[in-house]
Structure 1
Amino acid sequence: MKELFQRRLQLHQKQMMRYLRYVFNDHFVLACTFLLGGIGLYYSDLVKKLPEGFLPGQFLVIIVLAAAVHLGSFVSLTKSADVVFLLPKEKQMRGYLEKGLRYSLILPFVTLFLVTGFLMPLYVVSGQGSFADFLPLVVTVWGLKTAHLQLQRYRLFQNSLDQRRWYLLWLAAVLCSLCLGIFVMPWLAAAAGLAVAVVFWQVLWVRVSRPLDWDKMIRLEANRMHRIYRFINLFTDVPQIAASVKRRKYLDKFLAKIPQDKDHTYLYLYARRMLRGSEFSGLYLRLVAIGGLLLYFVDEIWFSVGLGGLFLYLIGFQLAPLYNQFQYMVLIRLYPIAADQKKQALQQLLLVLLLVAAVIFAGIGSIPYASWQDRGILLAAFVGVALAFNYLYLPLRLKKMAD
């Protein structure tokens, strides 16, 4: 069974690598580099301004680490047919699930390592600790995350109705261990985190002899993969994700403003797809919400300009695939439509969407600034980015997509 998990893992990783080359493209990596650099600069300036012994900073470290240990799910790589073909091998599934736990630890451990490192400056400034406490804090959150994944594995067995009680017990252990590490002694917290992992392993794995709940295990794995595919679907088409369409009758007034003639065929189709399809509309709303939230907390004018411009670029870049949404529609090819109408329609729609986002970003980003000059700079910069993207970059992108 261990060999079965290894074969499935190889196929899974091969599939993920095929998708990740579309996710981590040059534009996305450049945008992330710029965003992380800006956040790091802003975070550095903020930490320098904090007074020593800043008590709220210690509680913030606890809250962030407590949230971070929830990241990552148990990976079983089970499929719907396993309930038939692997049921006779149920007694050997423990070796399969052991391999699953080991693999499930990799990504959370890396994430927790980076999150803890990111919080160390705030931890040092807020308390009496030092950067030497990084290792015991990492060990603490690793032990707590190991216990969390063991609890998720315990959910795969039948009659695990007491899982909520175990989760509350684990959550209490998380808060106690982190408070112990932040306020008392980090190495004592590390010992507590490892002890929690050992207790959960002994109680929720060694002493468990219940049969597996196959339907639940397969459903949880399908949900986990669906979350991954939804993220990848923001960058490229994923066959496993079917875009949902909603009526949204209250938005018909916007579609009614588009003339119903052959010169506006693509504009109507793109607008209808944008308003009624959950894929692109959800993406647009999420990016606008995240960008506006980040701008609200920034009080450096040029950083606000760069951050808002970055999100406007991301919005336009992620909405550009609308261009190929109707390329296989036969009726459009039979209808007498000008060849360049497709590009002009998308440019027209994206210009409206980007200008709306630019105004929202300028309105939210202007809240920390009392000067009307700074507010005018934000609005002019965001509108300029929207126009530059629409008339300079977008034609080149559409030409590449058409080729």
Structure 2
Amino acid sequence: MHNLFQHRLVDHWMQLTKYLRYVFNDFFVIALMFFVGALGLAYSNFLRGLTPHQWWQPIIIIAVLELGLQLGRLATLIMAPDRVFLAPQEGQLQGYFRQSFIYSLLMAGLMQAGVWFALLPFVSVSLDWNLIQLAMGFCLSLLLKWDWLSYQFWTLRNHQRLTWWRQPLFQWFLPLLIFSMGITVNLWVAFGLATGLLIISGWLIQKQVPPLNWQGIVAAEQLRILRIYRFFALFTDVPTVGPQPKRRAYLDRFFRRIPQNQHHLYTNLYVRTFFRDGETSSMYVRLLVVAAVILFFLDNSVVAVIVALTLLYLTGIQLRPFFTFFANNVFTRLYPVQTSDQVRNFRQFWQWLLVIELVLEVVVLLLGKAPISAAFISMVSGSVIIWWLMTRFVRKSQEQEGNNYRKETIK
């Protein structure tokens, strides 16, 4: 049991490095170098013209520290079968969880060091802090991260249903209060509050008695691993990452407006799946946000039109495979619905999504720095692209349906 965590940690890192080689490929590393270089140059130019002691500077510092504090979770490396095989040896797992806490604290400390290192020039210029104050600020962020990990460690043996405000209190509100006090009032007072909070957390942990909350431990670790693998899934296929549909009952009023008849069966399926599935809808929303942010700051009409049309076309290409989402579902073959109805339903749904993106791009161009002519050209050209995508999709679908009919006839 003493070496169990070390063995699992080695296996865990071997699994991560297997995917990291797909993330840090040659093209990504080159793009990352250019991005970091450009960001560093812009950051340096921004600091040169910065006037200290502005009212908005402490707000930026507190917000960045608060968001940086959320990086890193308690890594227990507990698996689902452990609730059966390790439960009888629960009394011998104190050293295991102590090692997991130390490892999590070290990794979180590295993340806090990275956040503080990036924020250090801005803090030094904005607040005129000396070296001792800068070191105290970093220690304060480490203490608050220790507090947050201690709260997660406390939940390992907690079987009671927690009130809704308890986790936001320890995760967001108390760190926000202490950071605000340290930045605007006195660092020593904030340091003392963080230390007192850590002592209280340790006292609550010492009061706990077995058994462990195995269900909560397994669920928390699976969620942590899933978040890591979702990042890897942006670069390569990860078998352990699957769709996680959500009910979204607040959309039922919208779903009821869709005609509930045989001719709109696939419309209901596509719309409900799109909004309840976390992959396609999140991809679509991310592309909308990227398009809106980029187009808002473009002032060259030619570049704005090219970017708007390119992003619209890329969104259409990314949404096209959604047509085959139900291809592996055998029950859809029992529906008394023609393939032409499925094609028509998907074309209407796909067209609406692209029209929404086109309208958003035109509105952003009108509100941004680009000329009005760029918005008009984007609207006309985007309409042509949508029409071409829809026409090509219907033609390809009809050809595929004809080929399938001929094969069935030959058989």
> TM-score range with shorter-chain normalisation?
0.5 to 0.7
Relative to structure 1, the CA distance from residue 167 to residue 309 in structure 2 (aligned partners, 3 Å threshold; closer, same or farther) is same
TM-score by length of 2: 0.65
Q: Does 1:369 align with 2:365?
A: no
Deviations 1:289-343 (A, max 9, x none): 43146347x64647x969989978986897798799899999xxxxxxxxxxxxx
Task: Give the CA deviation at 1:60.
Answer: 2.3
Aligned to 2:16: 16
Structure 1 counterpart of 2:220, one-letter code: L
Relative to structure 1, the CA distance from residue 5 to residue 243 in structure 2 (aligned partners, 3 Å threshold; closer, same or farther) is same
Deviations 1:19-58 (A, max 9, x none): 3333444455555555555555555555555543211221
Aligned to 1:290: 289
Given that 2:229 and 2:240 are in contact with CA atoms closer than 8 Å, whether structure 1 keeps it comes out as no
Instruction: Give 3-state SS (helix, strand or coil) of 1:155's partner.
Output: helix
Relative to structure 1, the CA distance from residue 157 to residue 18 in structure 2 (aligned partners, 3 Å threshold; closer, same or farther) is same
The sequence identity of aligned pairs, in percent, is 26
Matched pairs, number: 375
Q: CA RMSD in A?
A: 5.5
Distance 2:34 2:42 in 1: 12
Structure 2 counterpart of 1:284, one-letter code: M
Structure 1 counterpart of 2:116, one-letter code: T
Task: Give the CA deviation at 1:157.
Answer: 0.6
Distance 1:204 1:52 in 2: 42
Distance 1:280 1:162 in 2: 30
The structure number with the bigger radius of gyration is: 2
Aligned to 2:398: none
Aligned to 1:67: 67
Distance 1:129 1:241 in 2: 48
Deviations 1:171-196 (A, max 9, x none): 5542343234322454x268437624
Relative to structure 1, the CA distance from residue 323 to residue 7 in structure 2 (aligned partners, 3 Å threshold; closer, same or farther) is farther
Distance 1:27 1:9 in 2: 30
Given that 1:50 and 1:125 are in contact with CA atoms closer than 8 Å, whether structure 2 keeps it comes out as yes
Aligned to 2:182: 181
Distance 1:320 1:114 in 2: 40
Task: Give the CA deviation at 1:204.
Answer: 3.4
Instruction: Give 3-state SS (helix, strand or coil) of 2:110's partner.
Output: helix
Distance 1:105 1:231 in 2: 22
Aligned to 2:137: 137
Instruction: Give 3-state SS (helix, strand or coil) of 1:238's partner.
Output: coil
Give structure 2 stretches of 5+ with no counterpart: 331-348, 390-411
TM-score by length of 1: 0.66
Instruction: Give 3-state SS (helix, strand or coil) of 2:17's partner.
Output: helix
Aligned to 1:78: 78
Aligned to 1:343: none
Deviations 1:346-394 (A, max 9, x none): xxx99998897576446425523274467689x59x98xx99xx9xxxx
Aligned to 2:151: 151
Distance 2:319 2:72 in 1: 29
Distance 1:123 1:358 in 2: 41
